[in-house]
Amino acid sequence: MADVDFSALFQALPVACSILSREWEYVTVNCAYERASGRSREQLIGRYVFHVFPGGPEGDSARRLRASLERVVNEGEADRMGLQRYDVEEPAGSGVFQERHWTIVNTPLFGPDGRVAWVVNQVEDVTGFVQRLREADAGAEPVRQALAAGTKAVEAELFARARELQEVNQRLRRAQARERHAAEAARRALEIQQQAIADTSHDLRGPVSGLRTRLEVALSDPEADSRLVLDAALHDAERIGDIVADLLELARLEARTPLDTRSVDLARLVRAEVDRRDEAHRTPGVRVTVDAEPGVIVDVSPVRLTRLLNNLLDNAERHARSRIEVTVARERGEAVLNVTDDGPGIPADERESVFRRFFRRADARRFDPEGSGLGLPIARQIAQAHDGSLHIADHSPGTRFTLRLPLQQSPDGF
């Protein structure tokens, strides 16, 4: 294919075109634009478009043009303005404006970084057409009477169609914006799903490989202790089951499955669960204290909230040196539950990471090698399912998890 001189092609275009920078200065114009605007390229290039063409004393046409150019830059889509009145100062600098009518199309030009770098401003002067309509309307009396109604109707129709075109363009832009948002949401959801599959495969690979190896050894070694092999295989199977159960729980929570809620005294639930854990198992050398304000009533699923609390306590016990503090209180119309340990703490830049699936800090892997990294993500999903929040608050030493839930409203709404 022969090389094309695009500069010469641009200059030879019969359509009047200029290229504007993002600061609305002329970068270049073609010959047709010089003729249509009545300005030479020396009078245009490097000049601010609204200084060269202010659009008349009222400035409304300039405002519409600026809005169109800004839409092109912000949305990266062409904008058709349709029929517009945009008066031109003749001669330049005289303060005298001639009535002019145009159809205008603004189109984005993208730079190497993918952002809109310039705007192509394409114009067509239709002043002569509008004037001929008016001349026909003002002609000899018999002709004028015959054409007046039709001429006015055509002119009105032109401007009406121009307004309709602008409205259609606006609706199309809104629809395109919605489509872009939907596509972006779908892309993010796909990325999350792909990452979840990759993480799940990675986390299940260990116990599945261990289970397979143990069984292969048992089959190949007739003198292997079958009970030890079966105990180890059962342990691997239980770990797989725990991971799958956690993943199913996350899926249900993320799907916003309706919760079976009832009124719960948060302080009573916390005290009962801490007492139960003390009876079932106590971490050596770690003391758990509870300071709970009575009568903090919330509408929750007791089963889910108990799981959230246990996940926080399990995490605290893995890291605490000597004590864990659990508090319940009212604060600005919310129920606030804090679980605080005196461990090494979590760096500020990792406080959100711990809520990602399968994320495990080095110390967590050391203290609990078989943990799944799903406990805290499940806890946050449970909080959000109850229209609450769970985050790591500033605290030193150690780590403080703060759960906030809406208080139950009284029957009168307060």
CA-CA-CA-CA torsion for 109, 112, 116, 121, nearest 10 degrees?
A: -20
User: Do the bridges between strand 101-110 and strand 79-85 make them parallel or antiparallel, or are there none, so unpaired?
Assistant: antiparallel
Q: Which residues of 249-278 are buried (b: 16+ CB within 10 A; e: fewer)?
A: bbeebeeeeebebeebbbbebbbebbeebe
Report the Cα 299 to chain-centroid distance in Å. 30
For the record, the structure tokens of 390 come out as: 């769970």
Closest CA to 72 of 27, 114, 113, 106: 106
What is the rounded CA–CA span in Å between residue 133 and residue 221? 102
* pTM score of the predicted model: 0.45
Report the Cα 373 to chain-centroid distance in Å. 26
For the record, the structure tokens of 113 come out as: 């970084």
Beta carbons of 355 and 380 less than 8 angstroms apart: yes
Tell me the torsion sign for CA atoms 38, 41, 42, 46. Answer: positive
pLDDT tens for the chain, 414 residues: list them: 457 788 888 888 899 999 999 999 999 999 999 999 999 999 999 999 999 998 877 668 888 899 999 999 998 888 888 778 899 988 877 788 888 888 899 999 999 988 999 999 999 988 888 787 777 656 555 545 555 555 555 566 666 666 666 666 777 777 777 888 888 877 776 676 666 666 566 566 666 777 777 777 777 777 777 777 777 777 677 767 766 666 666 666 666 666 778 899 999 999 999 988 887 666 677 889 999 998 899 999 888 899 899 889 988 988 888 999 999 999 888 999 999 999 888 888 888 888 877 665 555 555 555 555 678 888 898 898 889 999 999 888 899 999 999 998 764 444
Mapping DSSP onto H, E and C, the string for the chain reads CCCCCHHHHHHHCCCEEEEEECCCEEEEECHHHHHHHCCCHHHHECCEHHHHCCCCCCCHHHHHHHHHHHHHHHHCCCEEEEEEECCEECCCCCCCEECCEEEEEEEEEECCCCCEEEEEEEEEECHHHHHHHHHHHCCCHHHHHHHHHHHHHHHHHHHHHHHHHHHHHHHHHHHHHHHHHHHHHHHHHHHHHHHHHHHHHHHHHHHHHHHHHHHHHHHHCCCCCHHHHHHHHHHHHHHHHHHHHHHHHHHHHHCCCCCCCEEEEHHHHHHHHHHHHHHHCCCCCCEEEEEECCCCEEEECHHHHHHHHHHHHHHHHHHCCCEEEEEEEEECCEEEEEEEECCCCCCHHHCCHHHCCCCCCHHHHHHCCCCCCCHHHHHHHHHHHCCCEEEEECCCCCEEEEEEEECCCCCCCC
